[in-house]
Amino acid sequence: MDEGKMDENEWGYHGEGNKSLVVAHAQRCVVLRFLKFPPNRKKTSEEIFQHLQNIVDFGKNVMKEFLGENYVHCGADPSPAGVQVAMESSCLSCTDPQLFSLLCFPESRCDKDLDTLSGYALCLPNLARLQTYRFAEHRPILCVEIKPKCGFIPFSSDVTHEMKHKVCRYCMHQHLKVATGKWKQISKYCPLDLYSGNKQRMYFALKSLLQEAQNNLKIFKNGELIYGCKDARSPVADWSELAHHLKPFFFPSNGLASGPHCTRAVIRELVRVITRVLLSGSDKGRAGTLRSGPGLRGPPVCEASPFSRSLRCQGKNTPERSGLPKGCLLYKTLQVQMLDLLDIEGLYPLYRRVERYLEEFPEERKTLQIDGPYDEAFYQRLLDLSTEDDGTVAFALTKVGRSFQKHTVQQYRVAMTAKDCSIMIALSPCLQDASSDQRPIVPSSRSRFAFSVSVLDLDLKPYESIPHQYKLDGKIVNYYLKTVHAKDATVMSTRFKESEDCTLVLHKV
């Protein structure tokens, strides 16, 4: 960036979430991330600087240790010598109509104020590009962004609803989201299928995401969004249009005719390549040795998964977990997710214990590192294997005994972060002479791709969000029990009654 100035002609709107907005550079493989805040909740420059510093520190000292340095890109420290961006108010002002026309903000995202006054932003690599060079390569790039969500069913004895031991959170939440108008129809995707390691189940999960992307899947071509839900009420995207974009990547010789057969063939190739990439990897992180005791617990299959239900109707058993390779990103992510050993129902009483202590001694909030710093000491406390509850606040915040395991309020925040992260898979067709290319390669039927895998959305979940998560969990489960499960029980009861009314007639032969 020249002299700290931000040229609006070099930057374009890239995307955003609830708490930040991202703009991408036209030539360089970098993006700038700006913070957003609810109206009337603006922060000082010092507070914004510390907020960004915490994001960098948590990624560097915690998530990079768990997931591996090749997958986690933390960005530079938000210092004036690093990524401070001097912005003219006429160039970036959340109330300036010129900005909205310049960057093409979705109207549904204009409910929060963009920080344009502090002068700070995070400079990060553009994960929609291959993570090798500083500048954009002059070759086509395909990027698939997946938000896999939580990959296991709670097994804690603190769970009060038996249904939570049978149906995953994602599948239950789908019904509430459709009922409240968030989405138009229920997705067939179930995270347990993707995390199973079984290719048949993974194929079904990825195809389900493609059929009903919601906000869990996006596809970019040369940095531009070509597929994914752009608005909560958009109709299901057209596969034929997607296949038109993808055909040159997977069938470069153009020997495949157009039509439904072509579309299915292209989608099938995409799903197979993504599956191979997700099962690959050897980047070392500490997640594999996160804790002692048995590995993945809980049921291997979600009872609400359409894949499982379909097989049960055919009288077949669902293929169980084949086991994820320990070096792959899905395995590492799942291990971090499983720091949530008590479920929110077991965690909430501990949160209340900490809250009562802080009400009496508010100055201890800093000592307990609730707001940081997220340093090596914070990371080491996550690995503490103490198992005896002595009734103290320190125990509630840092360790909780349950048989041979432990859980913490801080661990829960880290686990929730892993449950909501996104995986970015960048693919680029290999050049004819790719012998000098040191990047990993994944084959398809007609071509080969250099690829890179990264993780984003790794901001530590706020401590203050725990009460909201507790209330939302109850709302999701209660709605599912009152509607879906009750409906299924009624159907089964009707079928049983019909069987009682049957008359068996025997004829003499």
Give the tens place of pLDDT for each residue, 167-211: 999 999 999 999 999 999 999 999 999 999 999 999 999 999 999
CB-based contacts of 414, cutoff 8 Å, min separation 6: 62, 66, 336, 339, 382, 460
DSSP E strands: which ranges in 83-234?
Answer: 113-114, 122-125, 142-146, 217-221, 224-228
CB-based contacts of 228, cutoff 8 Å, min separation 6: 145, 213, 215, 217, 218, 219, 237
- pLDDT classification of 29: cutoffs 50, 70, 90: confident
> 373, 54 in Cβ contact below 8 A?
yes
**C-alpha to C-alpha distances, 120 to 19, 31, 482, 497, nearest whole angstrom:** 15, 13, 48, 67
Mean pLDDT of the chain: 79
State the pLDDT at residue 7.
57
Instruction: State mean pLDDT over 72-97.
Output: 46
Predicted confidence (pLDDT) per residue in 416-429, tens digit: 999 999 999 999 99
> 458, 172 in Cβ contact below 8 A?
no
What share of the chain in percent tops pLDDT 70? 72
Predicted confidence (pLDDT) per residue in 215-272, tens digit: 899 999 988 889 986 554 444 447 888 998 999 999 877 666 667 778 899 999 999 9
In the chain, where the domains are located: 8-126, 130-255+263-283+298-508
> Among 20-29, 84-93, 396-405, where is mean pLDDT lowest?
84-93
State the pLDDT at residue 10.
78
State the pLDDT at residue 277.
97
> 443, 277 in Cβ contact below 8 A?
no
- pLDDT classification of 125: cutoffs 50, 70, 90: confident
State which H helix or E strand residue 263 sits in.
helix 260-278
State the pLDDT at residue 383.
82
Query: What is the number of alpha carbons within 13 Å of residue 139 lying toward its C-beta?
Result: 15
- Distance, in Å, from the CA atom of 326 to the CA atom of 215, rounded to the nearest integer, reads 27
> Using CA of residue 238, residue 241, residue 243, residue 249, what is the dihedral sign?
negative
Name which residue leads in pLDDT, 148 or 259: 148
CB-based contacts of 430, cutoff 8 Å, min separation 6: 437, 441, 447, 448, 449, 450
State the pLDDT at residue 489.
60
State the pLDDT at residue 371.
92
Predicted confidence (pLDDT) per residue in 473-501, tens digit: 999 999 999 998 667 665 544 544 444 45
CB-based contacts of 63, cutoff 8 Å, min separation 6: 72, 336, 417, 455, 458
State the pLDDT at residue 94.
36
Q: What CATH architecture is 8-126?
A: 2-Layer Sandwich (3.30)
Asked whether the predicted pLDDT for residue 376 surpasses 80, the reply is yes
> Among 2-6, 326-330, 417-421, 486-490, where is mean pLDDT lowest?
2-6
Tokens coding 462? 């706020």
DSSP per-residue string spanning 312-354? HHTT-PPP------TTSHHHHHHHHHTT--SHHHHHHHHHHHH
What share of the chain in percent tops pLDDT 90? 44
- Distance, in Å, from the CA atom of 393 to the CA atom of 297, rounded to the nearest integer, reads 28
State the pLDDT at residue 262.
86
